[in-house]
Structure 1
Amino acid sequence: MEFILKHKNDEIDLIHTVNSIHEYPAFEHGFEIYANSACCAGILEAVKIGEAIGEDVDNWKEEAEKIRASIFKRLYSPRLRSFIKTIRIRDRHSEPLGYDPFASTVTDPDAVEYAPAYFGLIRDDDIKVINTVKRIHDNLWDEELDGLNRYPESWDRNNGGYGPWPHFTCQLARHYCEVGNEDMAEQYLGWCVEIAHDYRFPEHISTIERFEEWLESYQNAKILQDSKIVMIEGIKSHPKWNDGLAYVTTPLIWPHAEYLMAYKRYSMNFL
C-alpha cells in the first residue's frame, strides 16, 4: 500500500505510472485508467484484510475513495459519455499539473476503458459503463476478423499485426452477461470459441497482410528486437498460417482465465 500511495498525486488524487496494461508508455505514461482502477480495487481489498486482522486501515480506505471519485470525475468525459484512457503527465510531482510538458489527454477508444467496472468500482448497469462499452464496440470490433481490438490501429504498435484479442473480448462478454444481453454475450464468447486452435487461445490474431505490414515497418525502422524474431518464427510455424492467419503468442494463459470467468458468468445468467 505504501508503494502504491507514494505514486499518488494529491492535486488530482490519481496514481501516476509510466506504463500500464498495454506496456506502451507513449499512450500510458501518466494517470491511466486501468492502472488506477486496479490500484483502487487493490487498496479496497487490502482494507478488508486489514479490518479482518484488526489493523487501523481508515487512511487506506479514505485514499481509495479519493481515487475512485477522481476516476469518475477526471477519467470520464461527459461530452463523449465515456471513460477515457489517460491524462498524460511526465512527472507525478509536477505542480501545477497543467504546466507539465507532457500535459494532454488520450481520449481514443481503448478496451481498458471498461476497467472501472471490470475491477468492481462501478456497476455494469451504470449508464457510464453502458455508454463506454458501446463506444468500445462501435470503434474496436474488427470488421474483417470479428473479435475486439484493444485500441485503434493508428496507435501503430501492433506486434505481429493489428487484430483482435480474446482476453479483452472476454472482458466485454462479462459485461454483456451482467446486463442480460445474451445476443452480444454469445457474439463475443462465440468468437473466442471459433478462433481457439486445439483448445488454446493466442494473445491475438491478425491477417498475413497486416502481419507483413507490421514486419516491414519494424524492419525499416530498425526496431525489431531479438524477442520479436522468436515471436515471428512462432507465428509462421503455427498451423493457422496456412489458413491465412497470424496467431500471435500461442498459448497465452491470460485469455484462458478470462474465458473461464466470462463463461461462468454466461452460465449463471443464461444457462
Structure 2
Amino acid sequence: MRTRPHAYLFSISYFGARFKGWAKQKGQPTVEGKLDRVFRFVLGHEDFRFIGSSRTDSGVSCRSGFVQLFLRERLDFEQLLAALNLNLGGEIRLNSAAEVSRDFNLIHSVKQKTYRYFFSDSKSFHPFASAMLTWANGINSLEQMQENAGLFVGEHNFKAFCKVSGNKTDFTREILRAKVFETEAFSTEFSPEKTYCFEVIGTGFLYHQVRKMVSAIWYFSPDEIKKRLDQPTSEWESVPTASSNGLVLWETKLDVGSLDNSFE
C-alpha cells in the first residue's frame, strides 16, 4: 500500500537570478531547497515528497512549470496554496493547484517546453536591465539570427550544442519551432532601445542546449551550424554558453488527459 496516497499538482513561476538552479545543493539557495523548507513549515511535518517538471540551471527563471506533491492525508489545497505563497516571499509563486490521481506521472506527462531568451546589443544598455536581459556585443543581424534559428528546427543530434555530462548517449532531440523577433517584454524606463527574443519550442532539451543555441545564432554562420548538426560526433570546438540571466522557461505543456483545463 502506498504510504502517500494523495497527490496535488501545482503550477509554478519563479525568478531565478537569486537561486543556484532548481536542484537542492548543500549550502546554496535553490528553488527545490526553498520549496522544501516552506512545505515543511506550512504542513508542520516532513512526511511528504515532491517533484518538479523541470530542473532549471542556476540563474534561469520560470514563467510556467509544475510541481507534484505527495501526501499521506487529503488537504484543502486552496488553503494550502494561500499559506505556501504567503511564506514563499514572492520570488517563487504557486499559481494554481488541483488534486490529481496518485498514478499521474508529472515527469512522463511533459510533452512540450517553450524557452525564451531575452537579449539586446544596445550600446547604452543599462545595468538595471540585466535582471531579465543579457547584453550581447557584436552579434549577427536580426535577419541572420532568424535564418540561423530556423536551421535548428526538426529532429537532430545536438551533441555539438550541449554540455556533455555523465554517461549520456542519446543526444537526439526534436525542435518544433525556433525564431528570433523584437519584443517589448519586461519594458521599463531602463529598457534598451531594442530588445530581442529567441524562442525555441521542443519536446525536450539537453544540458545547456538552449544557451549554446543562443550563442550560435548570435555569432555563427549558417554553414557553421549546419556542419555541427550534420557531423555531431566530430571533434568540434565547444560552442560558448550564453549567460543564464536572459533565459526563461516560458511554457510547459502537459499531456493532462482528464485534468482541469487550467493546467493545459
Q: TM-score range by the shorter chain?
A: under 0.3
Does 1 or 2 have the higher relative contact order (CA < 8 Å, sep 6+)?
Answer: 2
Q: Which has the higher helix share?
A: 1
Q: Which has the higher strand share?
A: 2
